[in-house]
Amino acid sequence: MKTIHKKRSTIKTSWFVVDVSGKPLGRMASRIALVLQGKHRPTYTPNMDCGDFVVVVNAEKVGLTGNKLRDKVYRYHTRYYGGLRTVPAAQLLSRKPELVVKLAVQRMMPKGTMGRKMLKKLHIYRGTEHPHAAQKTVPLTF
């Protein structure tokens, strides 16, 4: 057996569309992170970006199980002294549902330049319409 190392010129990417209405946020985010990294392919190479593009639709209808809608808190810092801010998940989901999905996927991606490059292939939209129909998106099933 030989180990095959892929080259950038031989990697073919495809586009997937995911409808997240009613699906649990964590399970959906872990599957999307695998597709963005390319781990769903048999030709996965850890040092190359061989993942696919993912379009997420219906981000405002994503499901949070248990009491997470009430108890989960998102934190960020303004970089001023005493600038720690907390936002409940219900409030963030009503204002910016794209950010809830993006943060869930981003925290499951590798940290560093490769992970940031892979995350740029994620496109999130509120409704069912998206401008990526020309890329011939294929539905991604769980």
Per-residue pLDDT tens digits for 28-37: 999 999 999 9
Q: Residue 84 contacts by C-beta under 8 Å, 6 or more apart in sequence? A: 75, 76, 77
How does pLDDT run across 64-116, given as a tens digit for each residue?
A: 999 999 999 999 999 999 999 999 999 999 999 999 999 999 999 999 999 99
Q: Name 21's Cβ contacts closer than 8 Å, sequence gap at least 6.
A: 58, 61, 62
Task: Give the per-residue pLDDT at 139.
Answer: 96
Extract the tokens encoding 130.
């998206």
Average pLDDT, stretch 114-126? 97
If one compares 89 and 9, the residue with the highest pLDDT of the two is 89
Query: Residue 63 burial by CB count (10 A; 0-12/13-18/19+): exposed, middle or buried?
Result: middle
pLDDT band at 9 (very low <50, low <70, confident <90, very high): confident
- Tell me which of 3 and 136 has the higher pLDDT: 136
Question: How confident is the model at residue 5, as a pLDDT?
Answer: 73
Query: pLDDT tier at 142 (50, 70, 90 boundaries)?
Result: confident
pLDDT in tens, 32-63: 999 999 999 988 888 889 999 999 999 999 99
Is 26 a residue whose pLDDT tops 90? yes
> What are the structural domains of the chain?
14-64+97-139 (3.90.1180.10)
pLDDT bin (cut points 50, 70, 90) of residue 10 is confident
Measured CA to CA, the distance from residue 59 to residue 124 in angstroms comes to 7
